[in-house]
Structure 1
Amino acid sequence: MRLFAQLSWYFRREWRRYLGSVGLLIIIALLQLIPPKLVGVIIDGVTTGRASTRLILTWLAVMAVTALLVYLLRYVWRVLLFGASYQLAVELRSRLYSQLSRQLPGFYLRHRTGDLMARATNDVDRVVFAAGEGVLTLVDSMVMGCSVLLVMSLQISWELTLLSLLPMPVMALVVKRNGDALHERFKTAQAAFSTLNNQTQENLSSIRMIKSFGLEDYQSGRFARVAVDAGDKNMLVARVDARFDPTIYLAIGTSNLLAIGGGSWMVTHDALTLGQLTSFIMYLGLMIWPMLALAWMFNIVERGSAAYSRIRQTLDTPADVVDGTLDLPPGRGTLSVDITQFTYPHSPQPALHDIRLVLAPGRMLGICGPTGAGKSTLLSLIQRHFDVTEGSICFHSQPLPRLKLDSWHSRIAVVSQTPFLFSDTVASNIGLGRPEASQQEIESVAKLACVHDDILRLPQGYDTEVGERGVMLSGGQKQRLAIARALLLASEILILDDALSAVDGRTEYQVLENLRQWGRDRTVIITAHRLSALSSASEIVVLQRGTITQHGRHDQLQLQPGWYRDMTLYQQIEAALNDENADPGDPHA
């Protein structure tokens, strides 16, 4: 029953629909009391000889009209009630999507994709079913049950009614106990379903890697173990679920036995007529639905309550970064970074310290360093995926925490090393951030990213479907397509996080030259492991162990002893060896 309290905010808002459906349910319950009463009247009239054929036909006609009215009213209340519950599904899913879209990478490090998908699909379905069928069974069983009890007690025999209902308190206690057990077990089963969903999603996403490594049997075994565990958890739910119907039918059967036994004794002692006993048995038959509905309601409501608690857990998760209140002023601004220290949550060691940078519009900053030096962490702080522990990052002289996230993110375009492409056309993927962009604008940025010619060689050019995650394209084509998508936004700050790693040297040089021309009045930040990508940068910083150890232009750093010069020499030697191995005169090339 706790679910109805949890959803009270929605019931209050949609009170017209729910009140209308409840009112119709009450009318239907009252109409259903008429046929048993008329059957008793007809039987008594026939046995005493006082009922004429015309009177019997009249009563039968009344019963037929009553049945037709019940049919029509049931249609109307189903539209009202289930229309409201389906609207709840739309709202819950919209809230979940909005919440998930506001979360930053730290949230997705703690929550698996499969689990989040299960909450947005299966859990919402359970809540909606409870908000529809649960309300129906609660109101219908209470109205019907109370109406039948009043008629049985006041118009027939309160003694026989009391005798017939003796099994009901025992049934209520058993149903309540089973309902509590069902809540806990269903919650566990839903968690197991989330794990199964996540395993499925991971296997399908990495199917090419699984096949290339020959891991089909191993992954099938892992999936089978997860599936068996989910099945076992659901079997525990089914065992509790299976106790409801036998409990109800046993209680109903005992009630009928007591009613027939006690009623027969009362008929033989002239305390009841045969027609009254027949009506009583028919009314008791109407009590079967409220009893079954009571058990069913406990079942679906406890399932819905367990599912809603998982949904609320996601909706109530606070954002890792608190939104600011200030809008950014128009025009270009200077980005200044002054990080005294930054430490990841639950990490004992600082990831960055003593980082100071000033980036004016039109400047290109190159960031390099060994693996684990803090390059990605610095970019995450600039994008405000986390807040600086000690120090500040400012734009337009305003600390980032004071700025609205949407306002700040609208000034940034980011391209990562492994860009994501949607299962759509090339043109739609480039125009993702600006769906209203013209074909000419899309082709213009594709030329800047040096991917235009590659696109024209595709079967349908810009209308070619790239497949799921861009499966039809090479790694370099995906990266350049993502760069074109970022350029179309014309953002003030462009961040390329090793976004040219899969591109050959000649194409890389051309893309960087185009970016240098494009970014004359913009800020460009590039991280790269291949240092040739940084040769055009206005300034290059070398990160080691979380701090800046070198900074300067490409030609300056080549002359300074340190990591940058050593890595430049190493990459030059590596490139020379590769060129030698690729000598066209070599018959083995």
Structure 2
Amino acid sequence: MRLFSQLSWYFLREWRRYLGAVFLLIVIAILQLLPPKLVGIIIDGVTHHSLSVGRIMGWIGVMLAVAVVVYLLRYVWRVLLFGASYQLAVELREDFYRQLSRQHPEFYLRHRTGDLIARATNDVDRVVFAAGEGVLTLVDSLVMGCAVLVVMATQISWQLTLLALLPMPIMALVIKRYGDRLHQRFKLAQAAFSSLNDRAQESLTSIRMIKSFGLEDNQSQQFAAIARDAGEKNMRVARVDARFDPTIYIAVGMSNFLAIAGGSWLVWQGDMTLGQLTSFVMYLGLMIWPMLALAWMFNIVERGSAAWSRIREFLKEAPAVEDGEKLLPEGRGVLQVAIREFHYPGSQMPALRNINLNLKPGQMLGLCGPTGAGKSTLLSLIQRHFDIQQGDIRYHAIPLPQLRIDNWRSRLAVVNQTPFLFSDSVAANIALGRPNATQQEIEQAARLASVHDDILRLPQGYETEVGERGVMLSGGQKQRISIARALLLNAEILILDDALSAVDGRTEHQILHNLRTWGEGRTIIISAHRLSALTEASEILVMQHGVVVQRGRHDTLTRESGWYNEMYRYQQLEAALDEDEMEKGVPHG
């Protein structure tokens, strides 16, 4: 029953719908009391020969009319009640998606995709079912049950009513115990379903790797183990669930036995007519549904309560990075980075130390260094995926934590190491950030990214569907389409995080040449392992273990001893060897 108090905010807001449905349920309950009463009158009238055929047909007509009215009213309350519960589903899923979009990478380090999908679908469905069917069964069982009890006690025999209800308190206690047990077991079952969802999602997204390594049997065994665990936990829920109906039917059977035994004795004593006993038994039959509904209500509400606790646990989680209030002034500004020290959440080792730089509009910054040097970390901090513990980053001399996150990120265009394409057309993927862009603007961005000719060679050109995650495109094509998507935004700051790794040297040179023209007056930050991508940078930072070990322009760094000089010479030698092999016709790679 906790769920009803937890959702009270929604019930109060939608009180008109719920009150209308409750009112109609009460009217229906009252109307359903008439047929047993009329049957008792007809039986007594027939037994004592006091009713004419016309009167009997009249009472039968009344019962048919009641049935038609009940049918129509049930249709209306379903529209009111279930319409309200479905609206709750829409709002919960909107809140869920909004919360997902507000969260930062730190959140996704702790929550897996399959678990989040399970909460947004299965758990929300359980809550909505409880907000619809749960309210229905609660009101219907209480109204119908109370109305039947009042009629049986006042119109027939209160002594027989008390006798027939003796099994009910015991039944209520047993059902309450079942409900508490169901709540705990269902919560564990939902967690197991999340794990199953995680495994299915990971297997589907990595199916190419699984097949290339021949891991199908191994993955199938792991999935089967998780599926068995989920099945066992659901079976434990089913074992508790299966106890509700037998408990109800035993209680109903005992009530009927007591009613018939006690009623027969009253008829024998002349304190009750046969018609009254028939009506009483029919009324008692009407009590079967309220008792079953009560048990069912406990069942679905406890499931909904367990699901709601999982949803609330997620919705209440505040973003690791809080939004600011200030808006940036118009125009391009200077990006200032002054990081004394930064730690990832839960880590004692600093990921970055003593990073200082100023980037003016029109300048290009290059970032390089061995894997794990801190390049992507620095780019994440510029995008404000994390907050800095010691130091700050400013734009227009305003610290990033003081800025509204959406306002700051609207000034950025980012291409990550691993490009992501949606299952849509090439044009729609390029126009992701500007859905109203014209075809001419889309094609211009594609030309700047040196992917226009590749797109024209696709079956339907710009209208070609790229498949899930761009499955039908090569790695280089996906990277260049992602670059075109970023260029179309015309943002003040362009960030390329190793975004040219999958393109050949000639295409890389062409893209960089285009960027120099496009980037006049804009700030460009390029992180790269291939140093040829940094030759035109205004300044290059060489990073190792989160610290800047060298800095300067390309010409300066190639003359100094150190990592940059050694890596540049190695890459030049590798490129020369590749050219030799190609000239000799030796296949490479």
What TM-score, normalized by structure 2, do the two folds share? 0.99
Show the counterpart of 1:183. Answer: 183
Show the counterpart of 1:338. Answer: 338
Q: How far, CA to CA, are the matches of 1:423 and 1:588 in structure 2? A: 32
Show the counterpart of 2:350. Answer: 350
How far 1:584 moved relative to its partner? 3.5
Verify: 1:303 aligned to 2:279, yes or no: no
Show the counterpart of 1:490. Answer: 490
Verify: 1:108 aligned to 2:117, yes or no: no
Q: How far, CA to CA, are the matches of 1:106 and 1:149 in structure 2? A: 58
1:552 is matched by which residue type in structure 2?
A: G
How far 1:46 moved relative to its partner? 1.1
Verify: 1:264 aligned to 2:264, yes or no: yes
* Aligned-partner SS, 2:583: coil
Q: How far, CA to CA, are the matches of 1:333 and 1:366 in structure 2? A: 19
Structure 1: where are the runs of 5+ without partners?
Answer: none
How far 1:579 moved relative to its partner? 2.0
Q: 1:588 to 1:56 in 2, by over 3 A?
A: closer
Q: 1:588 to 1:359 in 2, by over 3 A?
A: closer
Show the counterpart of 2:545. Answer: 545
Q: How far, CA to CA, are the matches of 1:279 and 1:368 in structure 2? A: 89
How far 1:308 moved relative to its partner? 0.8
How far 1:587 moved relative to its partner? 8.9
Verify: 1:441 aligned to 2:454, yes or no: no
Show the counterpart of 1:214. Answer: 214
Show the counterpart of 2:46. Answer: 46
Show the counterpart of 1:476. Answer: 476
2:315 is matched by which residue type in structure 1?
A: L
How far 1:105 moved relative to its partner? 1.1
Show the counterpart of 1:24. Answer: 24
Verify: 1:162 aligned to 2:165, yes or no: no
Q: How far, CA to CA, are the matches of 1:499 and 1:372 in structure 2? A: 17
Q: 1:291 to 1:348 in 2, by over 3 A?
A: same
Verify: 1:420 aligned to 2:423, yes or no: no
Identity %: 72
Q: How far, CA to CA, are the matches of 1:351 and 1:430 in structure 2? A: 33
Q: How far, CA to CA, are the matches of 2:313 and 2:256 in structure 1? A: 46
Show the counterpart of 1:147. Answer: 147
Q: How far, CA to CA, are the matches of 1:183 and 1:586 in structure 2? A: 68
How far 1:582 moved relative to its partner? 2.3
Task: Give the alignment's Cα RMSD to 1 decimal.
Answer: 1.0
Q: 1:382 to 1:586 in 2, by over 3 A?
A: closer
Q: Which moved more, 1:293-302 or 1:571-580?
A: 571-580
Show the counterpart of 1:240. Answer: 240
Q: How far, CA to CA, are the matches of 2:582 and 2:588 in structure 1? A: 9
Show the counterpart of 1:523. Answer: 523
Q: Report if aligned partners of 2:106, 2:345 keep a CA contact under 8 Å in 1.
A: no
Q: Report if aligned partners of 2:581, 2:587 keep a CA contact under 8 Å in 1.
A: no
* Aligned-partner SS, 1:351: strand
Taking the TM superposition and a 5 Å limit, the aligned residue runs for 1:183-202 are 183-202=183-202
* Aligned-partner SS, 2:350: coil
Q: How far, CA to CA, are the matches of 2:349 and 2:221 in structure 1? A: 39
1:465 is matched by which residue type in structure 2?
A: E
Q: How far, CA to CA, are the matches of 1:378 and 1:449 in structure 2? A: 24
Q: Which moved more, 1:543-552 or 1:294-303?
A: 543-552
Show the counterpart of 1:371. Answer: 371
CA-to-partner distance for each residue in 1:289-340, whole Å, 9 max, x for gaps? 0000000000000001111111111111110100000011111011000001
* Aligned-partner SS, 1:556: helix
* Aligned-partner SS, 1:345: coil
1:246 is matched by which residue type in structure 2?
A: P
Q: How far, CA to CA, are the matches of 1:439 and 1:104 in structure 2? A: 33
Q: Which moved more, 1:470-479 or 1:568-577?
A: 568-577
Q: How far, CA to CA, are the matches of 1:196 and 1:392 in structure 2? A: 42
* Aligned-partner SS, 2:277: helix
Show the counterpart of 2:282. Answer: 282
Q: 1:298 to 1:527 in 2, by over 3 A?
A: same
CA-to-partner distance for each residue in 1:389-446, whole Å, 9 max, x for gaps? 1011000000000000000010001101111000000000000010100000000000
How far 1:581 moved relative to its partner? 2.4
1:314 is matched by which residue type in structure 2?
A: F
Structure 2: where are the runs of 5+ without partners?
Answer: none
Q: How far, CA to CA, are the matches of 2:588 and 2:27 in structure 1? A: 90
* Aligned-partner SS, 2:347: coil
Q: How far, CA to CA, are the matches of 1:587 and 1:146 in structure 2? A: 87
Verify: 1:460 aligned to 2:455, yes or no: no
Taking the TM superposition and a 5 Å limit, the aligned residue runs for 1:552-571 are 552-571=552-571
Q: How far, CA to CA, are the matches of 1:316 and 1:581 in structure 2? A: 60
Show the counterpart of 1:385. Answer: 385
Q: How far, CA to CA, are the matches of 2:269 and 2:585 in structure 1? A: 119
CA-to-partner distance for each residue in 1:56-106, whole Å, 9 max, x for gaps? 111111111111110000000001000001111100000000100111111
Structure 1: which 4+ aligned runs deviate by more than 3 Å?
Answer: 584-589
Taking the TM superposition and a 5 Å limit, the aligned residue runs for 1:500-515 are 500-515=500-515
* Aligned-partner SS, 1:192: helix
Equivalent pairs counted in the alignment come to 589
Q: 1:587 to 1:419 in 2, by over 3 A?
A: closer
CA-to-partner distance for each residue in 1:99-129, whole Å, 9 max, x for gaps? 0011111111110000000001111111111
1:68 is matched by which residue type in structure 2?
A: V
Q: How far, CA to CA, are the matches of 1:453 and 1:199 in structure 2? A: 39
Q: Report if aligned partners of 2:493, 2:522 keep a CA contact under 8 Å in 1.
A: yes
What TM-score, normalized by structure 1, do the two folds share? 0.99
Q: How far, CA to CA, are the matches of 1:586 and 1:162 in structure 2? A: 98
CA-to-partner distance for each residue in 1:20-79, whole Å, 9 max, x for gaps? 000000000000000000111111111111111111111111111111110000000001
* Aligned-partner SS, 1:126: helix
Q: Report if aligned partners of 2:338, 2:393 keep a CA contact under 8 Å in 1.
A: yes
2:57 is matched by which residue type in structure 1?
A: L
Q: Which moved more, 1:52-61 or 1:319-328?
A: 52-61
Q: 1:585 to 1:281 in 2, by over 3 A?
A: closer
1:220 is matched by which residue type in structure 2?
A: S
Q: Which moved more, 1:452-461 or 1:579-588?
A: 579-588
Q: How far, CA to CA, are the matches of 2:336 and 2:41 in structure 1? A: 91
Q: 1:150 to 1:588 in 2, by over 3 A?
A: closer
CA-to-partner distance for each residue in 1:237-286, whole Å, 9 max, x for gaps? 00000000000000000000000000000000001000100000000000
* Aligned-partner SS, 1:367: strand
How far 1:580 moved relative to its partner? 2.2
How far 1:517 moved relative to its partner? 1.0
Q: 1:588 to 1:571 in 2, by over 3 A?
A: closer
Show the counterpart of 2:69. Answer: 69
* Aligned-partner SS, 1:520: coil
How far 1:521 moved relative to its partner? 0.7
Q: 1:409 to 1:588 in 2, by over 3 A?
A: closer
